[in-house]
Amino acid sequence: MRISKSGNIRKQELLDSALELFYLNGFERTSIQDILDKVKISKGTFYYYFKSKDELLDAIAFQLADRILSMMKSIIDDSSLNSLEKLNLIIAKAQKIKAENIDNLIKIAKMLYVEENIKLRSRITDKTVELAKPLLVQLFQKGNEEAVFDISFPDETAEIYIRIGELFWTMILKLFDQLPESLEQIKQKIVFFNELIERMLGVEKNSINITNRVINTLQQSNLFQKSKEEK
């Protein structure tokens, strides 16, 4: 007899199974029927939660960003910190969240950067821009008022900040399969990214701490530990 599951559990099963199939087969080559077969549900149950495969894709994109976005909002609303302190705290907490989920995030990231998943990657990036950009614009404008940032175009800077971050992770992932030998190259790219962000925001060197936090996050991954054991 089939055990009935709550709506939230069933919906999460659909999201997890779809993501796994997109990873294995690519978004375009995964059909709704493939997802139904994997989760063992009817077409009617699928359409109860999602109107289409594209809507399911939107839900995956939102879920991947939601926890960090909630954290960002709570920090930005904290009146006891200036904007530079808020940005550094956002970076610290974002890396903590990523460290807790690093192996899944690496798997997802590698999935996104294959040709078959261009649509999925684009949707997730666009969703991240849509949700995170207003928060960053608010932070950057406030930082200008406080004279901790010197940003001429907060709106454009917020979007570039997000999109450069996506490009940055693409560069890192290309080197990840070559660990631990590529660690120094990875560190160099992280330092470059850190300095680029500081220049974009008009702050002094070493005002923003991305470098050590990202390196520590990567070093906690099973892939990194396994690469050290194999070499």
Q: What is the pLDDT of residues 190-230, one digit of tens each?
A: 899 999 999 999 999 999 988 887 777 777 666 666 666 66
3-state class (DSSP) for residue 95:
helix
| Ramachandran angles phi, psi of 24, nearest 5° | -80, -40
Between 151 and 21, residue with greater pLDDT: 151
| 6-15, 127-136, 140-149: least confident range | 6-15
- Name the residue with higher pLDDT: 123 or 16: 16
On whether the CB atoms of residues 52 and 60 are closer than 8 A, the answer is no
Please give the structure tokens belonging to residue 25. 């087969």
Q: What does the pLDDT look like over 31-85, one tens digit per residue?
A: 999 999 999 999 999 999 999 998 998 888 777 678 788 999 999 999 999 999 9
Average pLDDT, the chain: 85
List the CATH code of the domain at 7-49.
Answer: 1.10.10.60
Between 175 and 153, name the one with better pLDDT.
Answer: 153
Looking at residue 186, its pLDDT comes to: 86
**Are the CB atoms for 38 and 21 separated by under 8 Å?**
yes
Stated pTM of the model: 0.77
pLDDT of residue 216: 76
Distance CA(153)–CA(200), nearest Å, equals 10
Q: Which token pair is 103?
A: 């192996």
Res. 107: pLDDT tops 90: no
Question: Considering only CA atoms, which of 114, 150, 140, 112 is closest in space to residue 128?
Answer: 112
Of 87, 62, 63, nearest to 75 by C-alpha is 87
Instruction: Give the Cα separation of 171 and 163 in Å (integer).
Output: 13
**Predicted local distance difference test score (pLDDT) of residue 2:** 45
- C-alpha closest to that of 106 among 231, 229, 214: 214
Domain ranges in the chain are: 7-49, 57-230
CATH of segment(s) 57-230: 1.10.357
State how far the Cα of 182 lies from the Cα of 174, in Å rounded to an integer. 10
